Structures are given as structure tokens and as C-alpha cells.
Structure 1
Amino acid sequence: MAEIRLEGVGHSYDGGTTWALKPMTWTWQSARAYALLGPSGCGKTTLLNIVSGLLTPTVGRIFLNDREVTGVPTAGRNIAQVFQFPVLYEQMSVYDNLAFPLRNRKFPKKEVDERVRKVSELLGLDGHLKLRARRLDAGRQQIVCLGRGLVRADVAAVLLDEPLTVVDPAMKWTLRSKLKEIHRDTGHTLIYVTHDQTEALTFADEVVVLKDGEIVQAGEPAELFLSPAHEFVGHFIGSPGMNLLPAEISQEMVMLGAQEAGRITGLEPGPVNIGVRPEFVKLGKGLHATVTGVDRMGSHHLVHAEIDGHPLTAKTGTDVTPSPGQTVQVAFERAFLFRDQVRCGELG
């Protein structure tokens, strides 16, 4: 296991005209499980490949513990990496694929067998150990790749680049819990790249959110949900995401159109966005809104409405079913103010 430290690391594929990864200083603490979360093209895979040594950064330095590895190739970093799609020795058996990283490093035969069987049991591969890898479907092949990445207890870190993309959806929940179990067993520093917020929030000790090549917020899953520091985090995390309503601060009052949404002190007058999650929009007393529709989701309802022409969604119980066109009153709990996309206050 290792602490991974980035000092001013950034990468450009066009000589510095644009940055796929903007220069950043960041530390991945030893033995923790991280999710690297963001949309396609935000720099997740670029960052992962820099850590693993597949890509040399345009600027900056990389350290594993106190050893600089910026110019060290992947083989010299003692890091395991699992890619988005299966990469296996198809002529080998599942057992031999799992054993290969250990045999290649001259582990004793008994230890090889113990580690292979332990990982295969955790990942549900016991009944497939004698099969050749090419006989497995793509999802099962990827599970073997996961096992091969996790079989070594001595690696500095394990990097997973959207590893469940080709895995059957019904198996994903099980595999995520198994990954957590293996992580507890080995204590690897683990970085898991995904664009799926469910994977990130259910798997990681800490979630790091990327947008346009830079980290906009990092924290425990509950922190990102309850206290987003950036509009993108509020929008990207949650289903549905955070409501964002254009408002104006005037004489310490936050105005939503002609309605008073709350009082704020210490902020300059001018435009802001009110951010409030659907879970914290309560029907009852408060601002006037016009209902535009209701989605019945089984366990709850999503009530869609408009305030001053701007859309608003409330997550309610199944006993609340207003009709389209009806005027309702809504109150906000845990509502934040954003200016230039960054949180600048809390609505009182």
C-alpha cells in the first residue's frame, strides 16, 4: 500500500494549448478506497494513466510514499491496473490467469494457490477455474481481470478504470460489495474511476469529483450529497440532481422573482443561484409554485413545478399527488446559494 502524491501534475495532448488535466496538487492517502467521479472527457482516465505510469505528465511530479516515480515505467511502480474492457491470456485457464502476476514475481507455490482460491471464492469464480478464459462471456472475463488485479497483496495501489462496464447489471451490486471486502482484506490504496454516481457513492471511502480537468470537490459520499461546494456536484450527484433557481440578492433579501425566498447577510447584492435538492423541497407553507406534472415512482413521487418560470422538482411521499396547473406552496430545507458556480452561502 502507498500514499500517492501529485505535485503540480497536469497534462496536455496538444503542447499546452488546452489541458486535459489542469495542473493540480493532490494526495491519495494510503489504504483508502477512492472513487474518481465525473462525466466522459473530464480527465479521469488521463489522471489514472499518469498515476500508473502509462502516461508521463506534461508538468509536475508524482510520488509513491517519498519516492519520486515521475519517470519510472509502470513495471517499476508496483501498481495493478484493471481496464474498462477485459485484457486476458485467452489460451490460459482462469486459474492460470489469476496466478500469473504472482508466478511472474516468484511467489511460493502454496501462497499462489492460497491467494488465487481466496480471490476466486470472493468473486464467484470457483466453478470456472479450470476453464480457458476465452470460453467465458465478456462480463465473466472482466471479473477475472478484477481478480488478477486484486490477487497480489503486496501492490502499492490498485487502479480500476470503469471496471464494471461490461458486467451484467444484476451482478454489479454484488461485485461492488466484494471489492469492498477484498479492499478491507488487503488494505490496498484503491482508485476506482467511474461516471456512475451509484458506483462511486456505494463503494468509496472518499469521492473525488472532476469537471473539465480539475477537481471541484472531494469528500465522503454524505458530504457531497448534503453540502455540495459546486453547482456541478449538486447537479451530477443525486437522482434527480439539485434544483438550481436563478435569484437576486437585494437589501439582504434573496428574491425569487417577486417572492422573498429568505434572508442572507455578508454577500454583495447581485445574481445568485439557489440550490436545493428535491429531497429538501417541502410542500406546505412558503413560496408559491405552479405544478406542471407528477411522476409516480413507486416508493415516492416527483412533483414538478415552476417558480417564476423556472423548473423545480420536489421528492414527496406517495400520499402527495397535486394536479397539473394547481398552485402549491413550497419551503426549502438545506438550500445553498451559488455564485459563479461556487457555493457562497446558505439560505436562511
Structure 2
Amino acid sequence: MARIELDHLAHSYAPDAPDPAWALRPIDMVWEDGGTYALLGPSGCGKSTMLNIISGLLRPSQGRVLFDGRDVTALDTGRRNIAQVFQVPVIYTSMTVAQNLAFPLVCRKVAPAIIRRRVGDIAERLGLAPHLQRSAVGLTADHKQLVSLGRGLVREDVSAILLDEPLTVIDPQMKFELRKILKQINEEFGITMVLVTHDQNEAMTFARTVVVMNHGEVVQAGTPQDLFEHPATTHVGYFIGSPAMNFVEARLEGGMVRAPALGLARAAPAGLAGGDLALGFRPEHLAPDGPGQRVGGRVTRIWFEGLEEVAEIARDDATFRARVPSGMFRTGDDATLALPDDRLLVYREGRLVV
């Protein structure tokens, strides 16, 4: 288990170029011992670059990586005492499932009795116990990834477990179960876990701290609730939540930030300058009735999602989405919903003001 510190960490794959493109811009961050973290963002945002630097697969262009205060920047992967699980299963097809799970412990000359106990425990947790004597070559893609994950979890002495999109190839129901298992193992053994994913649902249900990245930068880090209720940028608002946060152009008028297209307004915070202003609100924060402002329009589309539906509503040149009870609206209906004043957020130049 380890406290991981990133000290002014940055990386360019062409650092000597006249105008280097930074895959990872300078980052200062601390991940506490025993925490669960998710690096979340679109392809090319720098999340895998960061994970590869932490693991030792990549040497950063600048900055340091520290484990429990010890500088490990120059250490190779084998000397960092970590476990890694990748998107593509890493298993030995010439071995049985049991031999695959035991391999990291055998390499460290762990006592046979301890190996049997650990292999049995991990196999039971992952549902692999009935398959322990099977050859790995004939396993399904799901089971191969379970074995690969088990190899990463079988050690009790690791500083951290780094998970690079390992759930991508697994079916949705199994993903849910695996996230639960990973959290149980984290809580039981206190192992620091870092997950890389582009799937917000994976990140929000796995991690206590989600790190949202874009264009090589950390744009916000916080609890899932923080990111959902107070997105620091419009990018976070779009990336977190399904459907995404609604944004509408606004302007500063007489001490108010107004969005004429939807008839919404909020008091401007002191000192707010003009510029690119927007008002943002979540589809989940709209209600059929209640306190706050009224916003409405014509229902143009409906997505059925069980007990709830997502309604797309248009008014003049603006469109927004609302999460409402199933059957509340039909396409073509006129809809009016309530939005509490404190759920209306102000953004300037893409960043949260209030």
C-alpha cells in the first residue's frame, strides 16, 4: 500500500522539439494510501500516459513520482512493487487457471501453503473456483480477463494496483459485480487502486476520487457527487452525467446573468466581467412542479429508460433535456418544468463562477 505523490509531473513524447506538444501538462497531486482513484477522460487526454509514468513503463519529461515519500521516478516497473491489469488479458495459455493465478507468488518464492490460500481466495471472489484446473487456452474472453485481473489481485504486499481499462471487454452485468469485488478488496486490504477509464459510470461507481482529464490537464478532481453537482468546467459538465449537463448562452444585464432563449436568470456574483457566459443545469434537477424558475418548450424527442424518461425540449433556438417520470410527456407536447434557483450555475469562458 502506498501514498502516491505526483510532483510537477509532465510529459512530451518529443520534448526536444522547438514547440513540444505536451501529452501531460504539469500536474501536482497526492493520492492517499488505500484510496480508490479513477482517471477519467476521452481518448488522448493523457490518462494512460499518467498511469504508465506511475507504473514505470514511461519516464516523465519532468517532475517526480513518489511512493510514501520515496522518489521512484528512475526505478523500473519491477522495483516499484505494483500490480498492473490491462485492457487486453495477460495470461499464459500453456498454464491452468490456478497456475496463472499463482504465477506472481511463485516468482516471489512465496510459501506453497500461502499460495494455495491466496489463489483459492481470489478464485472464489472472482467466480473462478470451478475453473481452476482448466487450461487457460480454452477460456472465454470474460474469463481470460478475470484471470488477468486475479493475477493483479493475488498479491497482498503490493504498493498499488493499476487498472488500465480492464473492464472494457467484459459484459455489463459482470462489470457491475467486478466493481463491487474491487471495492471489497480495497476496503479489506487497504490497497491503493487507480483505474483508467473513459466510462463515467465505471469511474463514478468505483472511485472515491475521480480525476477528470482533458488535453493533458487535470480539469477537476473530487468525489462523484462533487463532480456531478458542481462541475468546475463545461467539459466536466458534458462528460459527467447521462444525459450531459444543459448549457445555454447568457449575457450580463443589470446585475443579472440572463439566458433569454430559455427565460432563465441568476444574480451575477460580485465582480463578474462580461465575456463568454453560460448558464448550466442538470436534467435531473428539473421537476414537474416545485419552487424556482419555470422553463419550458415543445417536446421533440423522448428516450425510454424504465421508470424514467429523458425528454428533449426545444424553445426557439435553444434545446435542453430533462429526466422525468415515464409517460409524463409525449413527443409534440408543450412542457413546463421547475428549476430550483440554487441548481442554476454560472460559467464564464467555460469555467464555473458560481
Of 184, 189, 196, which aligns to 1:193?
Answer: 196
Write the letter of the residue equivalent to 2:323.
Answer: K
Aligned identity (percent) is 44
* Partner SS, residue 20 of structure 1: strand
Q: What corresponds to 1:24 in structure 2?
A: 27
Matches within 5 A, 1:185-334: 185-257=188-260, 259-266=263-270, 267-283=272-288, 286-321=294-329, 323-324=331-332, 326=334, 328=336, 330-333=338-341, 334=343
Deviation at 1:330, TM superposition (A): 4.7
Q: In 1, Cα distance between the equivalents of 2:184 and 2:65?
A: 29
Q: In 1, Cα distance between the equivalents of 2:210 and 2:253?
A: 36
* Partner SS, residue 282 of structure 1: coil
Structure 1 residues 95 and 327: alpha-carbon distance in aligned structure 2, compared to 1, 3 A threshold: closer
Deviation at 1:270, TM superposition (A): 4.2
Structure 1 residues 91 and 262: alpha-carbon distance in aligned structure 2, compared to 1, 3 A threshold: same
Say if 1:261 and 1:287, in contact at 8 Å, map to a contact too.
no
Q: In 1, Cα distance between the equivalents of 2:183 and 2:264?
A: 47
Deviation at 1:301, TM superposition (A): 2.3
Deviation at 1:91, TM superposition (A): 0.5
TM-score by length of 2: 0.93
RMSD (CA atoms): 1.7
Deviation at 1:311, TM superposition (A): 1.1
Q: What corresponds to 1:113 in structure 2?
A: 116
Q: In 1, Cα distance between the equivalents of 2:275 and 2:351?
A: 15
Deviation at 1:219, TM superposition (A): 1.0
Structure 1 residues 310 and 143: alpha-carbon distance in aligned structure 2, compared to 1, 3 A threshold: same
Deviations 1:294-319 (A, max 9, x none): 33333112221224412111111225
| Structure 1: unaligned runs, 5 residues or longer | none
Write the letter of the residue equivalent to 2:58.
Answer: L
TM-score by length of 1: 0.94
| Structure 2: unaligned runs, 5 residues or longer | none
Deviations 1:41-94 (A, max 9, x none): 111111101000000001111111121111100011001111110111110111
Is 1:34 aligned with 2:37?
A: yes
Deviation at 1:203, TM superposition (A): 1.0
Deviation at 1:325, TM superposition (A): 6.1
Structure 1 residues 288 and 96: alpha-carbon distance in aligned structure 2, compared to 1, 3 A threshold: closer
- Larger mean CA deviation between 216-225 and 48-57 belongs to 216-225
Write the letter of the residue equivalent to 1:207.
Answer: V
Is 1:90 aligned with 2:99?
A: no
Q: In 2, Cα distance between the equivalents of 1:108 and 1:325?
A: 70
Say if 1:251 and 1:269, in contact at 8 Å, map to a contact too.
no
Say if 2:311 and 2:322, in contact at 8 Å, map to a contact too.
yes
Deviations 1:134-193 (A, max 9, x none): 111122111001110011000000000000111122311111111111222221110011
* Partner SS, residue 223 of structure 1: helix
Say if 1:250 and 1:270, in contact at 8 Å, map to a contact too.
no
